[in-house]
Amino acid sequence: MALKWYTVVVDCHDPQAQARWWAEALDWQIVHDTPEEAVAIPKGMGAEPVAELEAWFARGQGLLFVPVPEGKTVKNRLHIDLAPHTSQDRDAEIARLESLGATRVNVGQDEADVTWTVLADPEGNEFCVLSSRNR
């Protein structure tokens, strides 16, 4: 038996704003939104129950945003890697994320030697945009 990786929980000041930002950034949908939490999942995944175990395991993961009183003070110990497909314009995707409010950050990477770009969402959570991929 195995467990399913169900969701990634993101601590933040404004769960609704963060969920909207990430849903826009990833072209996802928000399926749950209360003052205590907001959930974004891939479009087409659906929020309805799935009875069959294999189909349930095949579903993607979601992002759960929950409020916390403290602010972010250090580099994330866990972050999300995003990758464009080889048919996409990576630089255009980075520019799109920046137009939504992402900012470039340096967490110690040597810009000349890396194939990824480190960005932060509007609340400062780091994530990477990797080189283009087809798998």
Residues 62 and 91 placed together within one structural domain of the fold:
no
Residue 119 within any structural domain of the chain: yes
Q: How far apart are the first and last CA of the chain?
A: 27
Residues 16 and 63 placed together within one structural domain of the fold:
yes
CA 20, CA 40: separation in Å to the nearest integer?
8
Tens of pLDDT, residue by residue over 3-42, are: 999 999 999 999 999 999 999 999 999 999 999 999 999 9
Residue 123: the pLDDT is 96
Tens of pLDDT, residue by residue over 54-97, are: 988 888 899 999 999 998 888 888 999 999 999 999 999 999 99
Residue 1: the pLDDT is 59
Residues 59 and 13 placed together within one structural domain of the fold:
yes
Residue 73 within any structural domain of the chain: no
Residues 58 and 99 placed together within one structural domain of the fold:
no
Tens of pLDDT, residue by residue over 88-126, are: 999 999 999 999 999 999 888 887 888 999 999 999 999
Residue 72 within any structural domain of the chain: no
Number of compact structural domains in the chain: 2
Residues 43 and 86 placed together within one structural domain of the fold:
no
Residues spanned by the domain of 90: 80-129
Residues 63 and 110 placed together within one structural domain of the fold:
no
Sign of CA dihedral 8, 12, 18, 19: positive
Sheet holding 28-34, edge to edge: 7-12, 62-67, 37-42, 28-34
Cβ pair 90, 84 in contact under 8 A: yes
Residues 60 and 11 placed together within one structural domain of the fold:
yes
Residue 73: the pLDDT is 86
